[in-house]
Copies of this chain bind each other. A is one copy, B any other.
Amino acid sequence: MDTFGKMLKLTVFGESHGPAVGGVIDGMPSGVKIDLGSVQKQLDRRRASAGISTARREKDIPEILSGVYNGMSTGTPLAFILRNSDARREDYDSLLDVPRPSHADYSGHIRFRGYEDRSGGGHFSGRLTAVLTFAGALAEDMLKEKGILTGTHIRRIGTAEDEPFDAVSPEKQLKALAEKKFPVLSAYAAKQMKEIIVDAANEMDSVGGITETAVSGLPAGYGEPFFDSLESRISHAVFSIPAVKGIEFGAGFALADMKGSEANDPFVIRDGKIRTSTNHSGGINGGISNGMPIVFRTVLRPTPSIGIVQKSVHMDSLRDTALTIEGRHDPCIVHRACPVIDAVTALVIADVVMEAEGRNFFAGEAE
């Protein structure tokens, strides 16, 4: 439901226009330095950025309620909240009976029997991804301490395409990415993408795109065959991010155009270690890491909130109608989704590692 993970569990809560959104991280190892700078940096990357995002501005300054003492995790549940300060409930009044196309207004209305708080998307709001980002930032820091790096860039928006990750050794690209506000490797592609987003905004329309994520430094042997395959757990987490509609690992859908002899990644010895010379498998064989980088791509649909008039219906009277959505909208959320994908990926990887290595693997020295 709203809890995910086995050894490292995240529970999320909150509505867009309620008092706060927040989360509880259970199973947090003891003695992990809680670097609020890292957290804030990721939260800022997720936040709306001028010109190409919604005008809504939340300060996104988290309050930690428990589980941290003297700047270190205690090992008990780490609860945190982000107060909703800039909510304008009135913008959404007209939506109450007319569901926005491809939003959760209708499906959520049936699911929650009409009792849902729909303002700002309620619990479905993208604002909840700030909670994922907070928790994931802590996981990213924990992984980094062990030499495991995670990073996500925009691979494509419209016709603008970034250079792909080097699937065999993406470390340099991951480091370059960590410094960028707009997560695109090529400056030229970044410029093109921003233009596409601004054009869509000017047309009161929206665009989607494809992101690409790499995890480097994860040794072989993590994951499971069957229901806890790395692909199963990563995809489960990634599909919990609103707007995600597809995921592919390694060569992904392109594998349909390859022969086995092309798709197979030959094993080779490199510097005395077992590696593969290509990485069409995306670092995973039989659900288990093979020591190569984990690489996957995610497609995010165009934001469904657009300014153009659309067809919809009155849910109560079952009549067709037209709908114009007022309020502030993102013409594109792909760049904002990148730190969120990083976050859930890091949470999954940290969880999988903790299952194998025990709950103290990421913990501080016993005092």
Does A326 make an interface contact (CB < 8 A)?
no
Q: Is there an interface contact between A14 and B253, defined as CB atoms closer than 8 Å?
A: no
Q: Report the minimal beta-carbon distance from A213 to chain B, rounded to whole angstroms.
A: 14
Partner of A249, one of B226, B245, B318: B245
A236: chain B residues within 8 A (beta carbon): 227, 232-233, 235-236
Instruction: Knowing A81-B65, A112-B74, A114-B367 are in contact, say whether A237-B227 is a contact too (CB < 8 A).
Output: yes
Q: Which of A43-51, A115-123, A133-141, A175-183 contacts B (4 or more CB under 8 A)?
A: A115-123
- A212-252 near B? 1/0 per residue, CB < 8 Å: 00000001111111111101110111011010111111111
Does A310 make an interface contact (CB < 8 A)?
yes
Size band of the A side of the interface? Answer: 35 or more
Does A184 make an interface contact (CB < 8 A)?
no
A302: chain B residues within 8 A (beta carbon): 255, 258-260, 262-264
Does A265 make an interface contact (CB < 8 A)?
yes
A242, A358, A367 interface centre (most CB from chain B within 10 Å): A358
Q: Report the minimal beta-carbon distance from A240 to chain B, rounded to whole angstroms.
A: 5
Q: Is there an interface contact between A263 and B208, defined as CB atoms closer than 8 Å?
A: yes
Q: Which of A52-60, A145-153, A166-174, A277-285 contacts B (4 or more CB under 8 A)?
A: A277-285
A20: chain B residues within 8 A (beta carbon): 65-66, 79
A273: chain B residues within 8 A (beta carbon): 318
Q: Is there an interface contact between B30 and A108, defined as CB atoms closer than 8 Å?
A: no
A81: chain B residues within 8 A (beta carbon): 65
Partner of A358, one of B105, B225, B356: B356
> Which are the 10 A-B pairs with shortest beta-carbon distances?
A104-B286, A114-B367, A246-B248, A110-B221, A358-B358, A206-B260, A266-B311, A13-B77, A76-B123, A260-B302
Given contacts A245-B248, A251-B301, 17 further A-B contacts (CB under 8 A): A1-B26, A2-B225, A7-B355, A19-B65, A30-B116, A67-B123, A74-B117, A76-B116, A124-B225, A208-B256, A235-B236, A242-B286, A267-B313, A268-B320, A274-B315, A355-B359, A358-B361
